[in-house]
């Protein structure tokens, strides 16, 4: 093994978090009380705080998790990853997809007691498509010609051309017209005090510490079984792991090291926690800022990808809990092209490409016009796997003469001060993917705008054409062929170095009942979870 957990500990500058983790692991041999937590409450650990809670701005995972409990869309995915109704009880698709008629549920209430109607859907559409509103989700409604609300419980959507992800796009949360009409929806007061139709409403938000939700008794599907949902912001995975063990939180996605060295081996965790492992529906990548003249050269991007040993990252950073990634479509998805070659770890080929691009290796450092090839990799605080991946990448790149530095930033600072403003050279991040393979938001050249998800500034007319073709046909065979071509093109262009698909490793206190794993994960039916009354338990 080129890189292992033991090798990390031998570094001159070991990670403090890893030492805390080892110490916490030793505590497991002692006598402990079972982690009971709070009654009728789930406490979830999160590395980062939320940012903005209105659905059209909830672009980061922490914000999306909370927003998804406060708001509903017209549609949602069921446990088998099939589109089903949410605020819409049914729909009709007409004229080959050019017209969709949504029939809304009656009796749905906003959390302030007002009735939900089609006027709210129409208002949401007009808001998210307003060019003055900096939302990354406006592209989902670009193909819409118009939306009508002929009566309080009917919404008619007319498309300029067929739009394959149409039903999924209406899964974005609907916002209340009676509260937000005529207001600045981007204002902090609305994003920190949201009113939705969802199963939970916001009770308290202490910035950087916790977000507390309480069950909404007027929820149209019935009052949730868990009365309170608390997200605790704990920006260190080792600290979070100790909180899990001692009852400070009930749920967290553990690190590969925590899962392998403790969770999978400890009788304590076997007794008091449910452990899950399945491939996450997302991938981790190095994003190159293509506004930088160095990274705008595809030869440089390919050279960097050939210099990075993904197998070493999966072994060292993920401890084997993951698979290599060749592009934005994941194995198991119909859009995935199994014939796409992964750039092989090949330092010799990497150096050839650097030389073709005008860089010369001198005294072990790549140079051009007297300047070394040097840049900084950014990643977010608290994510041990990404930090370890960055360290391995730095080591790999050093072998071909590239001087890479690493900078770790708090999550919101990384997004707001660097990613949104494109003030970065390279960044290690991950995407949690939509179940529909439409890549418009991430790779279409129009989405390089401020607030867009194409923050690496990738622009390729061939990719734009394929993205447009893929989202405007309902023919699955045709869409498959299109996305296979797009997969191959992105693998050639390498706007990202696609690193790996990590395994999801969630751990949940056993006191919760009604939890069932499904293709969509475990949270799809959260409102029906419950906590039976039980006696205090002790473990020896």
**Quick one: three-class SS letters along 207-248?**
CCCEEEEEECCCCCCCCCCCCEEEEEECCCHHHHHHHHHCCC
In a domain, 170, yes or no: yes
pLDDT of residue 2: 32
Nearest to 115 by CA among 178, 188, 22: 178
CATH number of the structural domain spanning residue 167? 3.90.76.10
CATH number of the structural domain spanning residue 295? 3.10.105.10
pLDDT of residue 12: 35
Q: What is the pLDDT of residues 282-294, one digit of tens each?
A: 999 999 999 999 9
Split at pLDDT 50, 70, 90, the class of 5 is very low
Structure tokens at 273: 């926690």
Phi, psi dihedral angles at 349 (to 5 degrees): -65, -35
**Are 509 and 490 in the same domain?**
no
Provide mean pLDDT across the span 311-336.
94
In a domain, 371, yes or no: yes
**Are 132 and 167 in the same domain?**
yes
**Are 384 and 467 in the same domain?**
yes
**Are 105 and 19 in the same domain?**
no
Query: CA angle, 121 as apex, 117 and 127 as ends, to 5°?
Result: 140
Over the chain, what is the mean pLDDT? 91
CATH number of the structural domain spanning residue 238? 3.40.190.10
In a domain, 244, yes or no: yes
**Are 327 and 222 in the same domain?**
no
Domain residues for the domain of 177 are 71-183
Q: What is the pLDDT of residues 438-481, one digit of tens each?
A: 999 999 999 998 878 999 999 999 999 999 999 999 899 999 99
**Are 144 and 165 in the same domain?**
yes
Split at pLDDT 50, 70, 90, the class of 136 is confident
In a domain, 54, yes or no: no
Q: Mark out the alpha helices in 99-235 (DSSP H runs).
A: 118-128, 166-169, 177-180, 188-191
pLDDT of residue 93: 95
Split at pLDDT 50, 70, 90, the class of 519 is confident
In a domain, 291, yes or no: yes
**Are 145 and 207 in the same domain?**
no
In a domain, 539, yes or no: no
**Are 85 and 229 in the same domain?**
no
**Are 145 and 261 in the same domain?**
no
Query: From CA 383, how far away is CA 391, in angstroms rounded?
Result: 13
Phi, psi dihedral angles at 538 (to 5 degrees): -130, 150
> DSSP code of 187?
S
The domain total for the chain is 3
Residue 56 · residue 133 · CB < 8 Å: yes
**Are 301 and 255 in the same domain?**
no
**Are 443 and 320 in the same domain?**
yes
pLDDT of residue 190: 95
**Are 324 and 422 in the same domain?**
yes
Phi, psi dihedral angles at 532 (to 5 degrees): -70, 150
In a domain, 82, yes or no: yes
Residue 40 · residue 228 · CB < 8 Å: yes
């Amino acid at each position: 093994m080129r890189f292992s957990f033991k090798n990390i500990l031998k570094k001159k500058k070991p990670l403090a978090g890893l030492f805390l983790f080892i110490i916490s692991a030793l505590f497991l041999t002692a006598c402990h009380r079972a982690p009971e937590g709070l009654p009728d409450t789930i406490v979830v650990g999160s590395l980062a705080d939320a940012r903005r809670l209105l659905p059209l701005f909830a672009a980061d995972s922490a914000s999306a998790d909370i927003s998804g409990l406060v708001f509903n869309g017209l549609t949602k995915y069921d446990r088998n990853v099939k589109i089903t109704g949410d605020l819409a009880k049914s729909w009709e698709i007409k004229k080959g997809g050019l017209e969709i008629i949504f029939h809304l549920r009656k009796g749905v209430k906003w959390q302030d007691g007002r009735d939900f109607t089609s006027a709210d859907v129409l208002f949401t559409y007009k808001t998210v498509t307003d060019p003055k509103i900096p939302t990354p989700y406006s592209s989902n409604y670009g193909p819409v010609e118009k939306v009508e609300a002929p009566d309080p419980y009917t919404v008619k959507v007319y498309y300029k051309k067929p739009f394959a992800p149409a039903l999924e796009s209406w899964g974005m949360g609907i916002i209340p017209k009676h509260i937000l009409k005529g207001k600045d929806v981007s204002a902090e007061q609305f994003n920190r005090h949201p009113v939705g139709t969802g199963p939970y409403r916001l009770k308290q938000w202490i910035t950087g510490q916790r977000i507390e939700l309480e069950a909404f008794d007027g929820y149209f599907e019935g009052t949730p079984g868990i009365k309170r949902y608390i997200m605790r912001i704990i920006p260190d995975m080792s600290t979070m792991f100790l909180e899990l063990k001692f009852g400070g939180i009930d749920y967290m996605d553990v690190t590969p090291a925590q899962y392998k060295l403790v969770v999978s081996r400890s009788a304590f965790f076997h007794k008091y926690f449910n452990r899950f492992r399945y491939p996450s529906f997302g991938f981790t990548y190095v994003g190159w800022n293509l506004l930088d003249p160095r990274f705008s050269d595809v030869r440089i991007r390919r050279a960097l990808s050939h210099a990075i040993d993904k197998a070493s990252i999966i072994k060292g950073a993920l401890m084997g809990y993951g698979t290599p990634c060749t592009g934005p479509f994941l194995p198991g998805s119909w859009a995935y092209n199994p014939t796409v070659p992964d750039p092989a770890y090949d330092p010799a080929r990497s150096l050839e490409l650097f030389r073709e691009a005008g860089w010369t290796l001198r005294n072990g450092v790549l140079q051009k016009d007297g300047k070394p090839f040097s840049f900084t990799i950014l990643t977010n605080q608290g994510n041990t796997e990404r930090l370890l991946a960055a360290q391995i990448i730095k080591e790999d790149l050093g072998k071909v003469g590239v001087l890479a530095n690493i900078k770790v930033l708090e999550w919101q600072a990384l997004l707001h001060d660097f990613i949104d403003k494109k003030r970065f050279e390279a960044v290690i991040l991950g995407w949690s993917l939509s179940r529909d393979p439409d890549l418009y938001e991430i790779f279409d050249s129009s989405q390089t705008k401020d607030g867009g998800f194409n923050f690496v500034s990738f622009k390729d007319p061939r990719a734009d054409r394929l993205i447009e073709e893929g989202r405007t046909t309902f023919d699955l065979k045709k869409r498959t062929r299109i996305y296979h071509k797009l997969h191959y093109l992105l693998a050639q262009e390498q706007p990202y170095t696609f690193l790996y698909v990590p395994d999801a490793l969630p751990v949940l206190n056993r006191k919760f009942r009604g939890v069932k794993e499904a293709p969509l994960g475990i949270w799809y039916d959260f409102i029906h979870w419950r906590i039976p009354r039980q006696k205090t338990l002790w473990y020896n």
